[in-house]
Amino acid sequence: MKPRAHRNHAHYWAFVLHRVSGLLLALFIPVHFYVLGMAIESATRLDGFLSWTNTPLVKLAETMLVVLLAAHLTGGLRLMALEFFGTRESSKTAVAIGTGIALVVGLTFLLNVR
Amino acid sequence: MPSAGIETKLWVWQRASAAVLGLCVIVHLILIIIAVQGGLSAGEIISRVSGNVAWLMFYSVFVIAVAVHAPIGVRTILNEMTGLKTSQTYLVMAVLCLVILSMGFRTVIGLYNAGGV
Amino acid sequence: MSNTIKVSVWRGQTEGAFEDFEVPRQPSQTVLDVITYIQRNIDPTLSYRFACRVGVCGSCAMTVNGRPRWTCRTHVDKVATDGTLQVSPLRNLEVVKDLACDMTEFFNKMNRAEGKFHPTKSRDDDFDMVLPDDPKRKQASQGIECIGCGVCYAACDVVEWNKDYLGPAALNRAWTLVNDVRDGGNAERIAAVSGDGGCHACHSQQGCVEHCPKHISPTHSIAGLKRAVAKSALKGIFGGDD
């Protein structure tokens, strides 16, 4: 059975990436605020948390979040170009470039983070 | 004039907030990469944003745009991919919006006032 | 090329099962040829729909190896890469029997999207001038070749998730009429496509674009409607009546 073959194309996978990244970012935002809020009560509490994040696994997770944010940004810009300006040409190339930019941003984060 | 449906209004709000977020996220990503160089600390974050009106304005706009953008998207996903009723997805949307606004502004204003400046 | 091909064909209605057939291979054989061979030589009770056999009428669309296609213009060579075929009715529509589906909902949605011409003139009036390089004419031209085969409707995930969604074909038709200077039904049309199942439900996944045999882009037509509806909604809010 090949019931889902019609989904196997660049724009569908771009849609999946946009939806998954958007959902994960929406779930992450309250966590992000909670952690930053620690600094208001006591700087030592945030610093304690930040030292906990100083493991390769958490760094990798942070890199993932940066990639997701960048991917949602480039995906969103591509969708708005389509919706507002009706861009037609090189639509699949735009998917590839946007995903590439997101990976480059993630790599830049990974190279700079300590 | 025909009055536009609620979906049209939500679409306009989501795209308007997306346009604002487009700029905010670019700034945010650049700042993340600069800030993490040499490690992140509470003191560093506080010294950057505390008492700085420009950052206060930027993050206030950022929080409002996120509070508009994310709940509309989450509601769409719930409508399409879960069995929740429309009234329930509206409730989730409203709660998420309030959570982001309250937690966001607590953080943004807290950090602005932090450090005894 | 082996002498026969194994074909799994959907039998029944919404409830049913695939039945396997062996069909002799022929040069330049289409999927419609294969289905027709089964019906004429193996099982005359097999139900399917076709008319022109040459890609003009749009009645023979089915799901072939998971993708919606015109069976008359789909060569077996192109799709049976592993030597097998699986043929089922179009997705997102009620099945009448076997490979024939009920297109009623599909065409009702064309009407619900005001995908019909609203004349503004009588025989006493002069002709409208529609120049080939007029921007509106160009917009309309990009969507006007639709023959209503239902391939885009079957390829659309939003149709599957939201039963009220009008779908790519109906919205594309509405957009061609928005750009028709002779038409007088735009107020009704904008209202019709701005409801909960209207143009804003589209996520630009472009399954419709990927599969349209006429190479139309309903996604871009729908984007045009999104702009037109938003413009009219903003006018409503800020009072600029027209």
The confidence band for C1, taking pLDDT boundaries of 50, 70 and 90, is low
Least trusted range by pLDDT, from A64-78, B5-19, C163-177, C206-220: B5-19
Q: C197 — phi, psi (to 5°)?
A: -100, 20
Chains touching C by CB (3 or more pairs below 8 Å):
A, B
Summarize pLDDT for C12-65 with one digit per residue, the tens.
998 999 999 999 999 999 999 999 999 999 999 999 999 999 999 999 999 999
User: Could you tell me the sign of the dihedral formed by the alpha carbons of C85, C93, B79, B5, in that order?
Assistant: positive
A89 close contact with C: CB closer than 8 A: no
Other Cβ atoms less than 10 A from the Cβ of B110: the count is 18
CA A51 to each of CA A29, A111, B39, C3: distance values in angstroms, whole numbers, following the listed order: 20, 18, 10, 69
Query: Nearest CB to B1: which of C162, C230, C235?
Result: C235
Chains touching B by CB (3 or more pairs below 8 Å):
A, C
Distance (Å, whole) CA C205 – CA C162: 15
Q: Greater confidence, C240 or C47?
A: C47
**Rg over CA atoms, chain A:** 18
Q: Which pLDDT score, from 0 to 100, does residue C238 have?
A: 64
**Are residues A58 and A81 in contact, defined by beta-carbon separation less than 8 angstroms?**
no
Least trusted range by pLDDT, from A105-109, B71-75, C6-10, C229-233: C229-233
Supply the pTM of this predicted model.
0.92
Q: Which pLDDT score, from 0 to 100, does residue C51 have?
A: 97
A42 assigned to some structural domain? yes
**Domain range holding B88?**
6-116
Summarize pLDDT for A100-112 with one digit per residue, the tens.
999 999 999 999 9
B1 assigned to some structural domain? no
Q: Which pLDDT score, from 0 to 100, does residue B32 have?
A: 94
Q: Which pLDDT score, from 0 to 100, does residue A1 have?
A: 45
**Are residues C76 and C68 in contact, defined by beta-carbon separation less than 8 angstroms?**
no
Q: Greater confidence, C1 or A8?
A: A8
The alpha-carbon gap from B22 to the nearest alpha carbon of chain A, in Å, equals 6
The confidence band for B1, taking pLDDT boundaries of 50, 70 and 90, is very low
Q: Please report, for the domain that includes residue A96, its CATH number.
A: 1.20.1300.10
B62 assigned to some structural domain? yes
CB contact under 8 A, C66 and A2: yes
Query: Nearest CB to B12: which of C191, C196, C233?
Result: C233
| Arithmetic mean of pLDDT, B28-42 | 90
Q: How many domains, in total, are found in chain B? A: 1
Q: Which pLDDT score, from 0 to 100, does residue A3 have?
A: 64
Which residue does chain A place closest to B98, by CA atoms? A30
Asked whether the domain spanning C104-238 has the same topology as the one spanning C4-101, the reply is no
Using DSSP, state whether C125 is helix, strand or coil.
coil
CB contact under 8 A, C162 and B80: yes
CB contact under 8 A, B104 and A43: no
Q: Which pLDDT score, from 0 to 100, does residue B117 have?
A: 44
Q: Which pLDDT score, from 0 to 100, does residue B6 have?
A: 86
How much of chain B exceeds pLDDT 70, in percent? Answer: 94
CB contact under 8 A, A83 and C209: no
C219 close contact with A: CB closer than 8 A: yes
Numbered residues of chain A with Cβ closer than 8 Å to any chain B Cβ: 19, 22-23, 25-26, 29-30, 33-34, 36-40, 43-44, 46-47, 50, 66, 69-70, 72-73, 76-77, 80, 83-84, 105, 108-109, 112-114
Partnered with residue C113 across adjacent β-strands are none
B67 assigned to some structural domain? yes
C200 close contact with A: CB closer than 8 A: no
- E strand or H helix that includes residue A41: helix A10-41
| Arithmetic mean of pLDDT, C160-180 | 96
Summarize pLDDT for C77-120 with one digit per residue, the tens.
999 988 899 999 999 999 999 999 999 999 999 999 999 999 99
CA B14 to each of CA A106, B3, B72, B76, C164: distance values in angstroms, whole numbers, following the listed order: 26, 18, 7, 11, 21
* Residues of chain A contacting residue C156, judged by C-beta atoms under 8 Å apart: none
What is the overall mean pLDDT for chain C? Answer: 94
CA C172 to each of CA B92, C117, C168, C224: distance values in angstroms, whole numbers, following the listed order: 33, 14, 6, 9
**Domain range holding A17?**
13-112
| Arithmetic mean of pLDDT, C161-168 | 95
| Arithmetic mean of pLDDT, C169-196 | 95
Q: Which pLDDT score, from 0 to 100, does residue B116 have?
A: 56
The alpha-carbon gap from A85 to the nearest alpha carbon of chain C, in Å, equals 9
| Arithmetic mean of pLDDT, C195-216 | 95
Q: Which pLDDT score, from 0 to 100, does residue A20 have?
A: 98
Crossing angle (nearest 10°) for helices A10-41 and B42-49: 90
B58 assigned to some structural domain? yes
| Arithmetic mean of pLDDT, A40-46 | 82
A108 assigned to some structural domain? yes
Q: What is the ipTM metric for this complex?
A: 0.91
Which residue does chain A place closest to B101, by CA atoms? A30
CA C154 to each of CA A55, C56, C149: distance values in angstroms, whole numbers, following the listed order: 48, 19, 10
Q: Which pLDDT score, from 0 to 100, does residue C241 have?
A: 47
| Arithmetic mean of pLDDT, A18-46 | 91
Q: Which pLDDT score, from 0 to 100, does residue C234 have?
A: 81
Q: How many domains, in total, are found in chain A? A: 1
Would the pLDDT of B25 be above 80?
A: yes
B2 close contact with C: CB closer than 8 A: yes
Summarize pLDDT for B72-110 with one digit per residue, the tens.
999 999 999 999 999 999 999 999 999 999 999 999 999
CATH superfamily for C4-101 is: Beta-grasp domain (3.10.20.30)
B7 close contact with C: CB closer than 8 A: yes
Query: Nearest CB to B29: which of A34, A46, A70?
Result: A70
CATH class given for the domain over C104-238: mainly alpha
Which residue matches tokens 């006007």?
Answer: C144
Which residue out of C171, C203, C225 would a mutagenesis test of the A interface target, given it has the greatest number of A Cβ atoms within 10 Å? C203
Which residue does chain A place closest to B38, by CA atoms? A114
